[in-house]
A and B are shown apart, each in its own frame.
Chain A
Amino acid sequence: MYVGSEVLRAEPVGPDVVRYVLKLERRLGSSPGQFVMVWVPRVGEVALSVAREEGREIHLLVARKGRVTGFMHDNVREGWRLYVRGPLGRGFAVAKGTALLVGGGVGVAPLIHLCAALKGAGARVVAAIGLRSADYRALAEDLASCADEAHVATEDGSLGIRGTAVDVAEALLSERHFDFVYVCGKEAMMRQVIELAMARGVRVEASLERLVKCGIGVCGACVLEPLGLRVCADGPAFDGDTLTRAGDFGRWWHDAAGRRVPLQP
């Protein structure tokens, strides 16, 4: 059963990323790290992290990836109707103390929602954001303005330091104490951040993106081996310890037919 929604705004926040602000027919009630399945009638359905929820409004950051996201970029504007089911999956554990949020590109999405919750719980939040270039400046804005302190790195050095989110996270973790690290981005990047945090005994959670079909844990499409973790139902947020035991993480994924294939970098 879908909840109908109207697109209030569709704003480009980078060369191939659009922020959609949807007004739902009823409140979603998501916790940070949870996701929704967004159905575009006659086109398809995709899994997207909830980047922000306020009243009946939600934010989604959508990168152009395939058929459905491509259609959204090319056609879905203000006034369009989209259909949402969720909230789905298990989100982040919201901890107190000082948190480091590490986001790569569109991976900042669930961290924006998380940042608001952490601040609400009285935590201090430091953000480390990695972008391809200054063209993605707007993508970082929401997280940067929510956090108490934000550090940006770009691959070409056109904004902030030249480097990656991992570089920023490594520097921050070496300099000071954090109670919790949260990361979302490409799996190879998340692996590195998890290693950095665990080496220092800091609790860490990561939010994963996989090919999600059913979204409710009954089809097995998004499984992580060898533990048999369903990203859509057991995750998408997992703790670092679990992920270090999930050999597929950062290395293998399952395609639409369930074939195990190397993860694209």
Chain B
Amino acid sequence: MVRLVDLRVELAGLELRNPVVVASGPLGVSLGLMKRAEEAGAAAITLKTATLRPREGHPNPVVYELPYGLLNSMGLPNPGAEEMGRLISEAKAVMRVPLIASVAAQSPREAEEVAERLRGADALELNASCPHVRGLGAELMDDPQLVADIVSALRSFGRPVFVKLSAHGDWIGVASRALGAGASGLVAINTLKAMAIDVRAKCPVLGGVYGGLSGPAIHPVAVRVVYELHREFPDVPIIGVGGVETWVEAAELILAGATAVGVATALRRGFHVIGEIVEGLRAYVAGEGLASIRELVGAAHR
């Protein structure tokens, strides 16, 4: 007998058909790519981070492939909040899965201006963790009060607000302040600060010099951060991100306490990996004799 497995999860009010979402970054600024991800099985799409003004990002090389992961130094290229808002409106008309807009800003006022233009999104994610752009992203981790103030500003839009944390700095402290200011959920982790030097050329490889490490190498770090966040804030929904290549890493993050998991670097192998992860989770839940994947969220703590 085929057991029916319920993969649906609820994430701060967002109804997801399964726990696999696309994390911010890999789909660029493209409705076509967002649709491909949806067709491949993604339950929600996080857009590329938007800033108030357009950014061209760092010069090439912007990526460096390693056997155990990927270094990137894109530098938050984006066409600016205005254009991103237009893309969201267009996408909302043809897509069924929730869209999470990612915001980078240096002040509550700027965050409000960005969010104002991304009004059509189903939720907002504050990027407090991009490791390779000065003044934006991870530098917020050093200023929990600023994170709290930005979260308060974003809350005024009446949409769930997630805060994407870095594994560097006092992420428990930042999460605590953000939640106190009304954040509805957490996303962990972003890439880890890293760099590469070519031994023959004897210079940094990445055009932006510093980059963020993603992929299999950072997965155990993500598991630990999600595990501790869930222990500290058991009722807060978490999107676990970091090195999810197959259903196994996805299940690990869910057991650690994530309600949903993000994929990004794994998409270098093709969009089909999304469906493989979803089907792998389905088989896992069935094999464990469970009716719903929700029973596994945080199960490693019990």
Known A213-B57, A219-B62, A219-B74; judge A259-B200 contact (CB<8 A): no
Decide if A45 is an interface residue (CB 8 Å cutoff): yes
Decide if A256 is an interface residue (CB 8 Å cutoff): yes
Residues of B within 8 A of A41 (CB): 198, 201, 203
Alpha-carbon distance between A216 and B265 when the two chains are bound, in angstroms: 10
Known A41-B201, A81-B200, A259-B79; judge A220-B33 contact (CB<8 A): yes
Residue of B nearest to A216 (CB): B268
Decide if A201 is an interface residue (CB 8 Å cutoff): no
Determine which residue in A68, A216, A220 has the highest number of CB atoms from chain B within 10 A of its CB, and name it.
A220
Decide if B21 is an interface residue (CB 8 Å cutoff): no
Is there contact, CB below 8 Å, between A219 and B25?
A: yes
Using C-beta atoms within 8 Å of the partner chain, give the interface range for chain A.
35 or more
Residues of B within 8 A of A226 (CB): 31-32
Is there contact, CB below 8 Å, between A258 and B268?
A: no
Is there contact, CB below 8 Å, between B28 and A221?
A: yes
Is there contact, CB below 8 Å, between B57 and A257?
A: yes
Alpha-carbon distance between A213 and B206 when the two chains are bound, in angstroms: 12
Q: Which of A77-110 contact B (CB under 8 A)?
A: 81, 83, 85
Decide if B165 is an interface residue (CB 8 Å cutoff): no
Residues of B within 8 A of A85 (CB): 65
Using C-beta atoms within 8 Å of the partner chain, give the interface range for chain B.
35 or more
Known A46-B60, A214-B72; judge A258-B29 contact (CB<8 A): yes
Task: Please list the residues of chain A having a beta carbon within 8 angstroms of any beta carbon in chain B.
Answer: 1-2, 4, 37, 39, 41-42, 44-46, 67-68, 81, 83, 85, 213-221, 223-230, 233, 254-260
Q: Which of B51-66 contact A (CB under 8 A)?
A: 54-57, 59-66
Is there contact, CB below 8 Å, between B60 and A45?
A: yes
Residue of B nearest to A4 (CB): B200
Decide if B205 is an interface residue (CB 8 Å cutoff): yes
Alpha-carbon distance between A218 and B33 when the two chains are bound, in angstroms: 11
Decide if B97 is an interface residue (CB 8 Å cutoff): no
Main secondary structure of the interface of A (DSSP, over half): loop
Partner of B265 from A67, A218, A259 at Cβ < 8 Å:
A218
Partner of B63 from A83, A219, A227, A259 at Cβ < 8 Å:
A219
Is there contact, CB below 8 Å, between A218 and B29?
A: no
Decide if B96 is an interface residue (CB 8 Å cutoff): no
Residues of B within 8 A of A68 (CB): 60
Residue of A nearest to B206 (CB): A45
Is there contact, CB below 8 Å, between B33 and A230?
A: yes
Is there contact, CB below 8 Å, between A213 and B201?
A: no
Further contacts, 9 of them, CB under 8 A, given A39-B61, A214-B62, A228-B31:
A44-B61, A44-B207, A67-B59, A81-B200, A219-B26, A220-B26, A227-B32, A228-B33, A257-B78
Residues of B within 8 A of A81 (CB): 200-201
Least CB distance from B41 to A in Å reads 15
Known A39-B205, A44-B207; judge A257-B200 contact (CB<8 A): no
Is there contact, CB below 8 Å, between A215 and B63?
A: yes
Q: List 17 A-B contacts (CB under 8 A).
A: A1-B64, A39-B205, A81-B200, A216-B63, A219-B28, A219-B74, A220-B26, A223-B33, A224-B32, A228-B33, A233-B268, A255-B56, A256-B57, A257-B56, A257-B78, A257-B79, A258-B79
